[in-house]
Structure 1
Amino acid sequence: MMRQEQVREGAAGAILFDAALSPQVDDDWFAPDYWRARGALRMQTGGRGGVAIIETPAGECVLRHYRRGGLVAKWMGDRYLWIGAGRSRSFAEFRLLADMAEQGLPVPGVVAARYQRHGLFYTADLITRRIPNAPTLAECLAAGRLDGELAELVGALVGRFHRVGIWHADLNAHNILVTNSDLYLIDFDRGERRQPAEGWRLANLQRLRRSLVKLGAAAQGEAIFEETLWKPLLYRYELSLGTSASGLL
């Protein structure tokens, strides 16, 4: 199905959506209470600043409200400085995801994105297709399912994105989904296309490594982690990318 990108302007913001999936997207779609009233809210975490699983006319979807993390969240919460529609967090992520999907990369399908203006600031939301029966890599690790074979698949996944210049701003074990047939990379907020360069690719992999270690992948010792998980991951990464990642060995 060809993507049919449309923008619906409103008094205080705009909605970007794929009309090929649903031509009826409006502000109600971004309100969990709207879906709850229709018995279509499957799950909600984190309240207004969290994630909701909703059953829409376009299928089961994930509704995410953008919210800052870290110390700045105390002051800014879910507000971002307005610098233009195309550079809003939601519109930028929608278009990056749509472009990657058209390249055949394993990412969630996009449904709609919204921003709402509040003076010099804006808030944002994104709706993507839900990938069913897909635990995160972090959950697989906690369940004892992360072995050398799965580590190789993770390396191949990251290599596919790096090969075409995709930089993930928060590459960690929580943003990799594992299904019976494929792996997916999610949450491309602040992600971008970059010119090929070893520096950012290695930094991206180091971020993933820190995530795995923090979650306990090296609980049996650093040497065992290197041999059983990290080296297999890098091996398939190099094969997928067609270059060496010796700086991480």
Structure 2
Amino acid sequence: MVKVSQKNKVYIIYDDDLLGVEAENSFSVHYWQQKNSIIGSAQGRGTTWFIQLDKLQAALRHYRRGGLFGKLISDTYLFTGYQNTRSIAEFHLLAHLQKKGVNVPAPIAAKVQRNGLFYQADLLSEKIPNATDLVDILQIRELSQPEYFHIGQEVKKLHQAQVNHTDLNIHNILLDSHGKVWIIDFDKCYQQVGDNWKGNNLQRLLRSFRKELKKRDIHWSEADWLLLMAGYNNINHNK
């Protein structure tokens, strides 16, 4: 059950069934360390902490800016309403995609700490177990025709849910140990009506394959893109 807590300029939305602890504690790394629940971490713009909950593994992320501007103002954003904040928006978008049957991490909890005209944000979402992104896989081996087909299907499901993934690339597409395709990282993504934007989304994904081919010499060729698009265009005919 999704609940909301709002105290002293701190707004938290959370899935009580998945979280299993007091929502106010769930964004404290120290709290999880005391419970011996930290199972790992990853470095990006900041540190993402991986946490073992009772029902699933989770990833705790503090929102940080990138680029030159991020060096000046690392983790604060202009407040224009709680529902417009990055963590709350991503929480709701993940919930929407889950309802539409897209394989995305489950949203567990999102926090906004308001400070006058600005805010800071955190998100706790599911860590997909035994999953690897396409870049890492393609450095080791080629993907099979069914794997490309399933990737295309999942992207089509994303688009049928009318969600524009503004950073759709092969770092944000995972395969788990059962061959299931997952799409991750929905910060700054949004629902969008119509179809005109979908082609640009696909071109961004294609450019990411080409970029990584030049950068890392991954096991990929232009013909593989046709396999992915076969899945994208036949989602309702080939399950």
Q: Scaled by the length of structure 2, what TM-score is found?
A: 0.89
Distance 1:219 1:108, change over 3 A: closer
Q: Secondary structure at the match of 1:190?
A: coil
Q: CA deviation at 1:23?
A: 5.6
Give me the whole-angstrom Cα distance separating, in 2, the residues matched to 1:166 and 1:241.
18
Q: Secondary structure at the match of 1:240?
A: coil
Match of 1:27 among 2, 10, 24: 24
Aligned equivalent of 2:221? 225
Q: Secondary structure at the match of 2:131?
A: coil
Specify the code of the residue in structure 2 equivalent to 1:96.
L
Q: CA deviation at 1:48?
A: 8.7
Query: 5+ unaligned residues in a row in structure 2: which ranges?
Result: none
Deviates more, 1:185-194 or 1:44-53: 44-53
Aligned equivalent of 2:105? 108
Q: Deviations over 1:142-183 (max 9, x none)?
A: 122434432222111111111221111210111111021410
Give me the whole-angstrom Cα distance separating, in 2, the residues matched to 1:103 and 1:159.
12
Q: Say yes or no: does 1:197 pair with 2:195.
A: yes
Q: CA deviation at 1:10?
A: 1.9
Structure-to-structure mapping, 1:57-206, within 5 angstroms: 57-179=54-176, 180-198=178-196, 200-206=197-203
Q: CA deviation at 1:212?
A: 1.3
How many residues are aligned here? 235
Runs of 4+ in 1 over 6 A off after TM superposition: 217-221
Give me the whole-angstrom Cα distance separating, in 2, the residues matched to 1:41 and 1:208.
33
Aligned equivalent of 1:12? 9
Structure-to-structure mapping, 1:199-218, within 5 angstroms: 200-216=197-213
Q: CA deviation at 1:218?
A: 9.2
Query: Are the aligned partners of 2:61 and 2:124 in contact in 1 as well (CA < 8 Å)?
Result: yes
Q: Scaled by the length of structure 1, what TM-score is found?
A: 0.86
CA RMSD of aligned residues (A): 2.3
Give me the whole-angstrom Cα distance separating, in 2, the residues matched to 1:151 and 1:181.
11
Give me the whole-angstrom Cα distance separating, in 2, the residues matched to 1:44 and 1:234.
34
Query: Are the aligned partners of 1:217 and 1:225 in contact in 2 as well (CA < 8 Å)?
Result: no
Q: Secondary structure at the match of 2:167?
A: coil
Distance 1:220 1:133, change over 3 A: closer
Give me the whole-angstrom Cα distance separating, in 2, the residues matched to 1:218 and 1:45.
22
Give me the whole-angstrom Cα distance separating, in 2, the residues matched to 1:24 and 1:188.
25
Structure-to-structure mapping, 1:43-62, within 5 angstroms: 43-46=40-43, 49-62=46-59
Aligned equivalent of 1:234? 229
Give me the whole-angstrom Cα distance separating, in 2, the residues matched to 1:219 and 1:49.
24
Query: Are the aligned partners of 2:112 and 2:120 in contact in 1 as well (CA < 8 Å)?
Result: yes
Distance 1:231 1:220, change over 3 A: farther
Q: Secondary structure at the match of 2:174?
A: strand
Give me the whole-angstrom Cα distance separating, in 1, the residues matched to 2:42 and 2:116.
28
Query: Are the aligned partners of 1:218 and 1:225 in contact in 2 as well (CA < 8 Å)?
Result: no
Aligned equivalent of 1:247? none
Specify the code of the residue in structure 2 equivalent to 1:115.
V
